[in-house]
């Protein structure tokens, strides 16, 4: 079975069996608890093919996370607009972040990855002092043959002490890296809130890119991405377009090649990544719900 069918079958199940709920930002059909597994062996890159996924946009966001950035203006300069709604003046004010300049998102994902729990300077979107660099700690352990098989290679974006300072509390909250047979690197992600139509295809691609990148950077082989999902939901506005997607047959996943080995994890660029043979169906227009 094509691995993308895991996603299509879950979409179908939610559309038929999902509970009708009214939440913070609209009406949904939802189910609680699901999982998927995707091979990353031999450069396999699970970017969904039953619709076009904007993989460069996804990759630019990931590299922004890796650098620990929290300023949406940096993404806008890269023509990435997925955070615009959450960075707007109205949305920040709705979160009580009335002193934040528009575009500053608070101590979100990448900030916690690289400066966990450091006091946040909202005036420039930077830490006031250094927090704990979770990502670099994991890299250091993966580069060391004596520590790379640790069961404690965990990176979390969920910091209860700083949730109220974030424009949006993290949806993908924790990942764990694991090495088998000395050099096979896998990543497991737990995500509390799963926007099945828009978010999930990006999340699968993003953490698969991340696993491939860390494997390359640490001299390992990417093996598998394992995805654990909490609240899996379809917004009512998304049901019709995703049901159209279900009629498309998946193509073979593409292959990713990372063509440069940088000294620091912060230094990788989009042009270091090459996606080979990404065949896909047409783009399906779906409005983002913020």
Query: What is the dihedral sign for C-alpha 70, 75, 76, 80?
Result: negative
pLDDT above 90 coverage of the chain, percent: 93
Active site residues: 171
The full set of domain ranges for the chain reads 4-276
| pTM of the predicted structure, to 2 decimals | 0.96
The residue-averaged pLDDT of 259-270 equals 96
pLDDT digits (tens, 9 = 90+) for 13-25: 999 999 999 988 8
Residue 159 has pLDDT above 80, yes or no: yes
Averaged over 201-213, what is the pLDDT?
98
What is the separation of C-alpha 249 from the centre of its chain, rounded to a whole number of angstroms?
24
Looking at residue 169, its pLDDT comes to: 96
Write out pLDDT tens, residues 27-85.
Answer: 999 999 999 999 999 999 999 999 999 999 999 999 999 999 999 999 999 999 999 99
Q: Which CATH class is domain 4-276?
A: alpha beta
Q: Which residue has the higher pLDDT, 286 or 113?
A: 113
Average of pLDDT values for 122-140?
A: 93
Q: pLDDT band for position 264 (50/70/90)?
A: very high
């Amino acid at each position: 079975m094509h691995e993308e069918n895991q996603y299509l079958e879950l979409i179908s199940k939610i559309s038929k069996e999902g509970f009708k709920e009214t939440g913070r930002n609209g009406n949904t059909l939802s189910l609680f608890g699901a999982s998927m597994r995707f091979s990353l062996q031999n450069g396999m890159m699970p970017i969904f093919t039953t619709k076009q996924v904007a993989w460069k946009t996804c990759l630019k966001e990931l590299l922004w996370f890796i650098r620990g950035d929290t300023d949406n203006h940096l993404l806008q300069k890269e023509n990435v607009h997925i955070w615009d709604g959450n960075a707007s003046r109205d949305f920040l004010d709705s979160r009580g972040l009335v002193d934040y300049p528009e575009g500053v998102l608070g101590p979100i994902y990448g900030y916690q990855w690289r400066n966990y729990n450091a006091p946040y300077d909202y005036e420039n979107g930077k830490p006031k002092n250094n927090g704990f660099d979770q990502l670099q700690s994991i890299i250091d352990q993966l580069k060391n043959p004596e520590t790379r098989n640790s069961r404690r290679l965990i990176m979390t974006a969920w910091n209860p002490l700083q949730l109220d300072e974030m424009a949006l509390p993290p949806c993908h909250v924790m990942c764990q890296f694991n090495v088998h047979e000395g050099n096979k690197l896998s990543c497991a992600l737990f995500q509390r809130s799963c926007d099945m139509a828009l978010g999930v295809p990006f999340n699968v691609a993003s953490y698969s890119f991340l696993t491939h990148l860390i494997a390359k950077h640490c001299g390992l082989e990417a093996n598998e991405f394992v995805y654990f999902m909490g609240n899996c939901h379809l917004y009512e506005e998304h049901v019709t377009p995703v049901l159209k997607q279900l009629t498309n047959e998946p193509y073979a996943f593409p292959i990713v090649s990372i063509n440069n080995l940088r000294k620091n994890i912060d230094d990788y660029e989009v042009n270091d990544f090459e996606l080979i043979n990404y065949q896909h169906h047409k783009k399906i227009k779906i409005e983002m719900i913020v």
